[in-house]
């Protein structure tokens, strides 16, 4: 691959906004130059490609650190494969994902991880790494953690929810956190009190409360807050950092904020669905609400202002998607007559960068904060920075040329995720991806996908770069 020069765009990173020319050589960014200085003319001589980005933003490719391609859940599988899901990510300006490999009960971590390598190998449109879901914390899997950290799997997800499936009890959680404290890895916590939730599910079903909206009722905000509090205290006892995933309740955010005010290594992410959707969507008529069933659940609309505030104050430091799509037909429909059988999860890997740009337009966050929460901080949090998450000499040339003035209407008719509905059907957004480069290769341009499956490479990761 030769040289690419991107001229005269507004280069936005977490740190700066500057009109600059960007020189890419092969797979890497090698220099930024001042427009008018003559540098770009020199670079353009003999370059393979010169892109005029006048009036456009030039931003790092998105880093989505929470996806579930092909996740087995509730008797079915998330409907995006690594091929379809990573292609959709590229369309939406995301050039790196970190997906969750799953250790099932009775399996070793290695077996679960090998299974995920087999699913992804040669399939991906963009670069990818793995976290490891620990579904069976025991003497052997605790030892295996150390080995995996040495191999670049530096984060492990535990579940306080889903008893009998992914659930870990407090003793297992404490032991995993103790191991993490020793090997430098980061525990990612699904913080909901699953034992209490299962009682409330059974009681609701006995009362004949079977509609999707009851999913939000039984998964009570206080049960998210309680689990968040417990996860943080267990992490303190173990001397380990903790990262709360898919935080949705303002009461849970208050727990994270209190921990961070104490100076603890407690971090949290939220997801676009919690910023833009609410229990009103879960309560849509008929079975429509099933399209909005995910865990943690959508909350009443009042929670959104607190989440936006948390993003501004950095008590929420990452926005990832928790992309876990299930088609309405035949998959969400598994829960007709019993909300607890609706597979949990929403599509989102393609729409995150645009929805967060809309937050810039709406005045919730600044442009630099957009890049920080969607690209830079996730890369730092999960040991991928500065290779990913910024535009700087030496970084991978994962670059998005973004048209901040283009309008688009979100729809299942036009999205590229392998799912038969959009959570945002008919919503108009300002801003749209124009061109995407993944390690220097143009993979999306002018409304066309130009990449190939297998373009994406596996990423070994360092440990979290935020620990104090």
**Contact residues for ligand URP, defined by CB under 6 A:** 68, 190, 246, 294-295, 322, 324, 344-345
Residue 315's binding partner out of Zn ion, ligand URP, none, with CB under 5 to 8 Å set by partner kind = none
Nearer to ligand URP, 261 or 330 (CB): 330
Q: How far is the CB of 462 from ligand URP (least distance, A)?
A: 24
Q: How many residues bind Zn ion (CB under 5 A)?
A: 2
Tell me whether residue 219 or residue 357 sits nearer to ligand URP (CB atom): 219
Strand partners, 438: 441
From the list ligand URP, Zn ion, none, which binds 294 (C-beta under 5 to 8 Å, kind-based)? Answer: ligand URP
- How far is 20 from 155, CA to CA, in rounded Å? 36
d(CA 436, CA 400): 5
Least separation, in Å, of the C-beta of 208 and ligand URP?
24
Does position 190 bind Zn ion by CB under 5 A? yes
Which residue is listed with tokens 């430098």? 184
Closer to ligand URP at the Cβ: 32 or 298?
298
For ligand URP, which is the closer residue by CB, 68 or 299?
68
Segment contacting Zn ion by CB under 5 A, of 187-195, 299-307, 350-358, 361-369: 187-195
**224: partner contacted, choices Zn ion, ligand URP, none (Cβ within 5-8 A by kind):** none
Q: Which stretch binds Zn ion (CB under 5 A): 84-92, 137-145, 322-330, 362-370?
A: 322-330
Region near Zn ion per CB under 5 A, out of 315-323, 376-384, 424-432, 434-442: 315-323
Q: Show Cβ contacts of residue 202 under 8 Å, excluding neighbours closer than 6 positions.
A: none
Question: What is the 3 state secondary structure string of the chain?
Answer: CCEEEEEEEEEECCCCEEEEEEEEECCEEEEEECCCCCHHHHHHCCCCEEEECCCCEEEECEEEEEECCCCEECCEECCCCHHHHHHHHHHCCEEEEEEEEEECCCCCHHHHHHHHHHHHCCCCCCEEEEEEEECCCCHHHHHHHHHHHHCCCCEEEEECCCCCCCECCHHHHHHHHHHHHHHCCEEEEECCCHHHHHHHHHHHHHCCCCCCHHHHHHCCHHHHHHHHHHHHHHHHHHCCCEEECCCCCHHHHHHHHHHHHCCCCEEEEECHHHHHCCHHHHCCCCCHHHHHCCCCCCCCCCHHHHHHHHHHHCCCCEECCCECCCCCCCCHHHHCCCHHHCCCCECCCCCHHHHHHHHHHCCCCCHHHHHHHHHHHHHHHCCCCCCCCCCCCCCECCEEEEEEEEEEECCCCCCCCCCCCCCCCCCEEEEEEEEEEECCEEEEECCEECCCCCCCCECCCCCCCCCC
> In whole angstroms, how close is the CB of 259 to ligand URP at the nearest point?
21
Closest distance to ligand URP from the beta carbon of 112 (Å): 15
For the CB of residue 66, give the shortest distance to Zn ion in the complex, in Å: 5
Judged by CB under 5 A, the stretch of 109-117, 132-140, 299-307, 317-325 that binds Zn ion is 317-325
Six-digit token string for 165: 């499936």
Smallest separation (angstroms) from ligand URP to the CB of 65: 12
Q: Which is nearer to ligand URP, 67 or 390 (CB)?
A: 67
Closest to ligand URP by CB, 68 vs 87, is 68
Residue 144 site contact among Zn ion, ligand URP, none (CB < 5 to 8 Å, cut-off depends on kind) = none
- Give residue number: closest CB to ligand URP: 344
Can residue 322 be called a binding residue for Zn ion (CB under 5 A)?
A: yes
Specify the residue, 25 or 269, whose C-beta has the smaller distance to Zn ion. 269
Range in contact with Zn ion (rule: CB under 5 A) among 72-80, 133-141, 310-318, 321-329: 321-329
CB of 324 to Zn ion, least distance (A): 6
CB nearer to ligand URP: pick between 306 and 322: 322
Least Å from the CB of residue 372 to ligand URP: 23
Among Zn ion, ligand URP, none, residue 418 binds (CB under 5-8 Å by kind): none
Closest to ligand URP by CB, 68 or 432: 68
Nearer to ligand URP, 322 or 354 (CB): 322
Locate 177 and state its tokens: 């956190």
Contact in structure between 401 and 56 (CB atoms under 8 Å): yes
Residues that bind Zn ion (CB under 5 A): 190, 322
């Amino acid at each position: 691959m030769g040289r690419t020069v991107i001229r005269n765009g507004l280069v936005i990173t977490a740190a700066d906004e500057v009109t600059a020319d960007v020189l890419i050589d092969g797979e890497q960014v090698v220099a930024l130059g001042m427009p008018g200085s003559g540098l770009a003319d020199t670079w353009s001589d003999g370059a393979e490609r010169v892109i005029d980005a006048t009036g456009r933003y030039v931003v790092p490719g998105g880093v989505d650190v929470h996806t579930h391609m092909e996740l087995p859940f509730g008797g079915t599988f998330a409907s995006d494969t690594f091929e379809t899901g990573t292609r959709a990510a590229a369309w939406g300006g995301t050039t790196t994902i970190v997906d969750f490999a799953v250790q099932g009960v009775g399996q070793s971590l290695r077996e679960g991880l090998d299974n995920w390598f087999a699913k992804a190998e040669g399939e991906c449109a963009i670069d990818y790494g793995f976290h490891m879901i620990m579904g069976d914390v025991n003497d052997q899997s605790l030892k295996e953690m150390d080995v995996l950290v040495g191999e670049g799997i530096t984060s492990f997800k535990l579940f306080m929810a889903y008893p009998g499936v992914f659930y870990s009890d407090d003793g297992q959680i404490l032991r995993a956190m103790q191991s993490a404290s020793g090997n430098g890895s980061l525990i990612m916590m699904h913080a909901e009190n699953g034992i209490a939730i299962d009682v409330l599910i059974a009681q609701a079903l006995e009362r004949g409360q079977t509609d999707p909206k009851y999913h939000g009722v039984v998964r009570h905000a206080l049960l998210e807050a309680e689990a968040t509090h417990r996860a943080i205290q267990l992490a303190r006892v173990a001397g380990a950092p903790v990262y709360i995933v898919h935080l949705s309740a303002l009461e849970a955010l208050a727990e994270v904020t209190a921990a961070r005010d104490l100076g603890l290594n407690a971090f949290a992410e939220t997801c676009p669905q919690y910023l833009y959707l609410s229990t009103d969507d879960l309560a849509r008529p008929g079975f429509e609400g099933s399209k909005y069933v995910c865990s943690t659940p959508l909350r009443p609309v009042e929670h959104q202002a607190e989440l936006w505030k948390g993003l501004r104050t950095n008590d929420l430091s990452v926005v990832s998607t928790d992309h876990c799509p299930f088609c309405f037909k035949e998959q969400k429909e598994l829960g007709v007559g019993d909300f607890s059988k609706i597979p949990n999860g929403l599509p989102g890997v393609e729409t995150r960068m645009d929805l967060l740009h809309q937050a810039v337009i709406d005045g919730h966050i600044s442009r630099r904060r957009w890049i920080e929460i969607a690209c830079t901080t996730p890369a730092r949090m999960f040991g991928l920075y500065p290779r990913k998450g910024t535009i700087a000499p030496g970084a991978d040339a994962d670059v998005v040329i973004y048209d901040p003035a283009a309008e688009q209407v979100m729809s299942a008719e036009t999205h590229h995720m392998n799912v038969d509905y959009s959570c945002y059907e008919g919503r108009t957004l300002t801003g749209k991806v124009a061109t995407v480069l993944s390690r220097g290769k143009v993979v999306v341009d002018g409304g066309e996908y130009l990449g190939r499956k297998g373009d994406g490479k596996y990423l070994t990761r360092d440990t979290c770069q935020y620990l104090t």
